[in-house]
Structure 1
Amino acid sequence: MASKRKYRGIDQLSTRDKVIVGLMVVVPTLIVLWLVWLPAIGSVLLSFTNWDGIGPLSDIKFVGVQNYHDIATIYPPFWPAIQHNLIWLGVMFFIATPLGILFAVLIDRGVAGTRFYQSSIYLPVVLSLALVGFIWQLIYSRDQGLLNAITGGTTDWYGDPDVNLWAALVAASWRHAGYIMLLYLAGLKGVDPSLREAAKIDGASETKTFFRVVFPVMRPINIIVLVVTFIESLRAFDLVWVINKGRNGLELISTLVTQNVVGEASRIGFGSALATIMLAISSVLVFAYLRIAMKED
């Protein structure tokens, strides 16, 4: 006869166990408060002030919503940055993400060379976007780049404001597709095989089986991918900063924040207002995701 396991409540734990459990709860909570919530709240408060970040705290002047008004009216890079972030989101969502799903489906079907393709597609994910930018510099360089050498052109892919955003998006998509592939590949492995067998018996093609049976079953993965893609597109920074620090056609909200907070003309209040706008936009989808997740639970 199998022995029954006895589970002890918190009141039945020894003093030593209670201390350990308490530390496991308190320490991570304090770290999150110190490194995440306090800086976030501080940024929101500083967004209503005028301060260069160098002088004493007594130099902080409350200006109300003036920073937000200036951002929307007299700060030229802001609206192009919004447009570029939307383009970034569109490319990641409608091109890079479906490409990652396609890779996951093909690898899940066990095509020849599955291990090689899986490793090669996932390889960019372990690299930072800054390093990805340097790698693609070898391809995009005007004078010594591989792309111009093949096409015989002289395009400055990273320097021309008409094409540098799209060049950066190709590099970012190269990495993003591998990450999406990994998420969906894990999701596909968890789909009940009987669902596919039932669809096959009913005469459904592989395409219909995926979109009408398999894809809906992976709804939690779909929501996670949506949130990750949205946030990654909003806070895209490393790659663009490596290219030209977010100037000359590559303006993004994240680079504008950095330029104003740690740039030559440090404006902590103005940069904090930009960061608060980023926080507000990203929080919308995060709260929507949490609401869906909690409703399902």
Structure 2
Amino acid sequence: MLGVPALVVSAFIWGPALASVGLSFTRWNGITDPVFIGVDNYQNVTQGYPPFWPAFRNNVLWLAVLLLIATPLGLLLAIVLDREIRGTRFYQSIFYLPVVLSLALVGFIWQLVYSTEQGLINNLTGSGVNWLGDPDVNIWAVLVAASWRHVGYIMVLYLAGLKGVDNSLREAAALDGAGPAQTFFKVIFPTLKPINVVVLVVTVIEGLRAFDIVYVINKGTNGLELLSVLITNNILGEASRIGFGSAIAVILLVISLVFIITYLVQTLRRDD
């Protein structure tokens, strides 16, 4: 029963991933035979391709905002809703609703919110800020939209983990005189380690593979450059530089693995 899905994953995920690594050392337009050029693509990406470093910076910023702001906010909502306050089911539905929407649709919705002339924010505040056209502002505006969706997903993950915590742990902590904050950080949060691993992996992937929302807004230009957009433009664009685009994809893969492997190694060491 595991053989079929393992074969599908190998064919459609690991196969193309390994092929991208191999193609990153070639010059290939998708038609003629690939030509091996060594690490020239990587040198050209990092030294002679101006959009790369702004896109790299935006990806790191995207990941930092999701990790340091959106994820803790999702955890906070899960803690509040875990107390079975009045209307818990309603609030769960409201906060989770953005998760069922695609990032492309989220981009369309927030375009209406941020519109300069008819947008909700400018009409309520009376300002004329060009939220999506100003390169000094638009990355932050889009990060708010991305966080709006991410918070609900993290909330559900942590809420599921909190529901599985044994109440006897809370009772024992209360008998020992621990306050709510001590109980959570010293007793409850350590039991959520499996959830933390899932949350970290999901957040890193969401932060580094971001594409749809910026592509809908302005095709990832004018301050919204991301590595995923550069990959798409080079592989599927008019130039069709598949080897060059694959090199950017491999760089993105390595960045993802650095975060995930570092956390997993530290977690396993603590377990030992």
The bucket for the TM-score relative to the shorter chain is over 0.9
Opposite residue 56 of structure 1, the aligned amino acid is T
Between the aligned partners of 2:209 and 2:178, the Cα distance in structure 1 is 41
Measure the CA separation in 2 of the matches of 1:286 and 1:106.
28
Deviates more, 1:229-238 or 1:26-35: 26-35
TM-score (norm 2): 0.94
Relative to structure 1, the CA distance from residue 290 to residue 30 in structure 2 (aligned partners, 3 Å threshold; closer, same or farther) is: farther
- The CA RMSD measured in Å over matched residues stands at 1.7
What percent of counterpart residues are identical? 63
Alignment of 1:40-51 (within 5 A): 40-51=17-28
Matches for 1:96-107 after TM superposition, within 5 Å: 96-107=70-81
Given candidates 68, 80, 87, the residue that maps to 1:113 is: 87
Partners of 1:152 and 1:136 lie apart in 2 by: 18
AA matched with 2:188: V
Tell me the distance in 1 between the aligned counterparts of 2:7 and 2:96. 35
- CA drift at 1:96: 0.4
- What secondary structure sits across from 1:265 in the alignment? coil
Which residue of 1 is the match for residue 247 of structure 2? 273
8 Å Cα contact 2:139/2:223 also seen in 1 = yes
Partners of 1:228 and 1:292 in 2: CA distance: 18
Question: How do 1:83-102 and structure 2 match up within 5 A?
Answer: 83-102=57-76
Match 2:222 to one of 248, 257, 281:
248
Q: Where do 1:1-297 residues align within 5 Å?
A: 24-53=1-30, 55-57=31-33, 60-288=34-262
Q: Which one has a bigger Cα radius of gyration?
A: 1
Q: What's the CA shift for 1:292?
A: 6.8
The runs of 5 or more residues in structure 1 that have no matched partner are 1-23
Aligned equivalents of 1:33, 1:184: Cα separation in 2: 30
- Match for 1:148: what amino acid? N
Check whether the contact 1:237–1:254 (CA below 8 A) recurs between aligned residues: yes
Contact 1:85–1:234 (Cα < 8 Å) also in 2: yes
**So what's the TM-score if we normalise by structure 1?**
0.87
Give the number of aligned pairs: 271
- Considering Cα pairs closer than 8 Å and 6+ residues apart, tell me whether 1 or 2 has the greater RCO: 2
Gaps of 5+ in 2: none
Counterpart-to-counterpart distance in 2, 1:86 and 1:93: 10
Partner Cα separation in structure 1 for residue 268 and residue 200 of structure 2: 17
